[in-house]
């Protein structure tokens, strides 16, 4: 196989430089920690809204916001999660890597949220995925709070929103 591992070297070098830039305690890192999740959130929420464009709204309870409102809320929450991740960069205490990893994993789970809810094929899948993401957010806040109360407070709105969306999914499931 010609050029196998050598061809991956420039890609890995870029990934390592991005990881280094994300894990610094400066303004550029703050911008990156917020801009990357928000940009990916725009793309994935747009995709989720496009995939759900022909779905009937019969199963949605009366208090469920429209998909575009959910997308705006998620963009704000992703910015808060990015800020929470950046806040952990100023700490050098033991366990901060685990806290930053917990926030990163929560960010990834929240980024794919529109794909399993806005374009949900099955309400049971939406309910289970919402519950698992909510549990992941609670676990992240418990891990992060040991390192930084400020970063943990930036995660709290995500828990509130996930609890609300889980209530919407549960109500829709009982009405279906």
Confidence of residue 5 (pLDDT cuts 50, 70, 90): low
> Taking the domains of the chain in order of start, what are their residue ranges?
4-175
pLDDT in the model for residue 54: 67
* Nearest alpha-carbon partner for 67 in 136, 156, 165, 134: 165
57 or 61: whose pLDDT is higher? 61
> What pLDDT was estimated at residue 161?
96
Tell me what pLDDT residue 121 has: 64
Q: Can you tell me the mean pLDDT for 74-87?
A: 96
Alpha carbons 96 and 143: distance in angstroms, whole number = 9
Q: Chain-wide mean pLDDT for the chain?
A: 87
Give the model's pLDDT for residue 135.
96
Domain 4-175 homologous superfamily, CATH: TspO/MBR protein (1.20.1260.100)
Give the list of residues 6+ apart from residue 111 with CB closer than 8 angstroms, or none: 37, 40, 41, 44, 78
Nearest to 82 by CA among 35, 36, 34, 44: 34
Looking at residue 57, what is its pLDDT? 58
* Torsion (CA) 134, 68, 155, 160 in degrees, nearest 10: -50
Residue range 18-47, pLDDT digits in tens? 888 888 888 999 999 999 999 999 999 998
Band (64; pLDDT cuts 50, 70, 90): confident
pTM, to two decimals: 0.87
Does residue 118 surpass a pLDDT of 90? Answer: no
- Among the ranges 2-11, 23-32, 87-96, which has the highest mean pLDDT value? 23-32
Q: Band of the pLDDT at 67, cuts 50, 70, 90?
A: confident
Over residues 105-128, the mean pLDDT reads 83
* Residue-level pLDDT at 61: 84
Q: What confidence score (pLDDT) does residue 1 get?
A: 47
């Amino acid at each position: 196989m010609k050029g196998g591992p050598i061809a991956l070297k420039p890609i890995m070098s870029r990934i390592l430089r991005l990881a280094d830039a994300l894990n610094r305690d400066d303004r550029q890192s703050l911008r990156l920690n917020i801009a990357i999740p928000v940009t990916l959130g725009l793309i994935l929420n747009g995709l989720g809204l496009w995939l759900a464009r022909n779905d009937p709204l019969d199963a949605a309870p009366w208090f469920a916001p429209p998909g575009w409102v959910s997308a705006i809320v998620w963009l704000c929450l992703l910015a808060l999660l990015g800020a929470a991740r950046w806040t952990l960069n100023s700490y050098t205490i033991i366990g901060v890597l685990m806290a930053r990893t917990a926030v990163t994993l929560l960010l990834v789970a929240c980024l794919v949220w529109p794909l399993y809810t806005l374009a949900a094929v099955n309400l049971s899948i939406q309910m289970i995925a919402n519950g698992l993401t909510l549990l992941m957010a609670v676990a992240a806040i418990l891990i992060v709070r040991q390192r930084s109360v400020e970063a943990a407070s930036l995660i709290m709105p995500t828990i509130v929103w996930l609890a609300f969306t889980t209530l919407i999914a549960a109500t829709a499931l009982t009405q279906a």
